[in-house]
Structure 1
Amino acid sequence: MDLRTMPKRLKKGDTVGIISPSSPPNLENLQKALPFIEGLGLKVKMGKSVEAKHGHLAGSDDERLADLHAMFEDPEIAGIICAGGGYGAARYTEKIDFQMIKENPKVFWGYSDITFLHTAIGQYADLVTFHGPMLASDVGKDTFHERSARMFGQLFAPFELFYSEEISPLTALTSGVAEGELVGGNLSLIRSAIGTKFDLDTAGKILLIEDIDEEPYQVDEMLNHLRMARKFDGVAGVVIGDFKNAEPKKPERSLTLDQVLEDYFKEMKVPVVKGFKIGHCEPHFSVPLGVKARLDADEKTLTILPGVE
């Protein structure tokens, strides 16, 4: 497979840009997170619309897009970390200058609503990006876990990531071993891109899915949409991350999340493993997207190649 461009590793003294690509972040939590970034030896430059509010958005679409462009274009910025998610990144994605991003590859880090940007940047700028905890949503909270903090280390040195049951209990829904490019992220955002030019290419890939606040019937509806859109046809394997708060409001009238997952994945002929602490959870195991990974359902392990050079 054609390998995506890996961004240069960060080093102490570098400046990272902070942007709010989607909804307005909790500014108190954002301020609490900054000492952590500075503790990594990094300096911070805030995007102009980080504190802006336009209804449920962190400023207008043009303002948020301008911040994204400015951080990629600025030669003083070595990496970009998202303050938070929410909703709104997809509203301006078709206006992104992907050629400019391709010419200025650098670390880009976030998750949740940022999944839409990960897919778009990966497919149109051929850049490896990072699915990891964000400043206001995660780092600035008292619940931020030491393991989540350690995951930022992968930005400073190329090292292979290895996930086993030493981190969390894992369940193999099928057996086998798969190798392929790791893609995906938030299930809602993967589904929302179907039929658009930012439709996720899953053929031959290891697909990561996670989500938050979706009842089992909603997860069922999204997985069925992916199935009918043939997103599971030709997929190499499936990594099922955390589905936080996936509890039915009326349990007596609902399948469980586990039952839904079994309905879609139990009969697949490729390895599928659930239980990964990837997503809206603590600890949050951060991963590069667009690099080669190996999913072993028999040993219940996931190995991921480095995301920086």
Structure 2
Amino acid sequence: MTRRSVITGTGSALPPRRVSNAELAREIDTSDEWIVERTGIRARHIAADGETTATLAADAARKALEAAGIAASDIGLIVLATATPDQTFPASATRVQTMLGIDDCIAFDVAAVCTGFLYALAVADNMVKGGMADRALVIGSETFSRILDWEDRGTCVLFGDGAGALVLEAQEGGDVGILASRLHADGRHNDLLYVDGGPSTTGTVGKLRMKGREVFRHAVVNLAEVMNEVMAAAGHAPDEIDWLIPHQANKRILDATAKKLGLSPDKVVVTVDQHANTSAASVPLALDTAVRDGRVKKGDLIVLEAMGGGFTWGASVIRY
């Protein structure tokens, strides 16, 4: 029988502090109209002192465990996708492990920026299918507000903080679970989206830098191509998709990608207006939202996709 990784629970967490476009406009040279027209974003959540990538991740993980109906002690693997870890080392996943009261399990971070959750999901899927663990927590969590240049209105309005998580469980046979994943990277485009610091270069955390127009152009092409690639690998046609759950970077990118694929906008889950771009957290945040509001149902064919700095990009096809 085929051993597959099946999603049995989802969860998410957002910091209580919600910052609207109007509030931002009182601090920097921008406006609600300018932000909404260019991005579709209306608000973002900002972590307070004491709220970190790990604490948000643990909150999302607890909700996913509750939804799955299992105890934290049942988890054998934690893969945390983040570009904003609590510390340079050890991995924030080990902090989450301790917060959940798990004495021993595999736990590590994955860094692929906005595509991080797709990378983490593929890694966890292969480890579960390979028998390394029977149950896994896959988490995307970010506190991007800590690496933003709040004087750069072109970038600081785009991002927010949050976390999303899901539980993967091994099941034998059946046609549900992760059907296919495809991942890519092209480091030649480093200077289009990056952070200008790091332990080995400047000894500082650094701030996010982005050339938005060029990123937009690459995103639409790369996401459409990887979608077609992963659907072919899964043996399904794009018109069979029930829900596309994309990285929530920019409403214009979501619209352009759906149009390029011939998908109805009604099949695209959009949450970027409520929490902005939360990098590796955005896909699991959107998934949890759609599961909890009843849009995503058991048996639905869903596609997760993302592109981020690196460039990295990828997609997964899942029978929910």
Give the TM-score of the pair, scaled to structure 1: 0.37
Structure with higher strand content? 2
Higher relative contact order (CA 8 A, sep 6+): 2
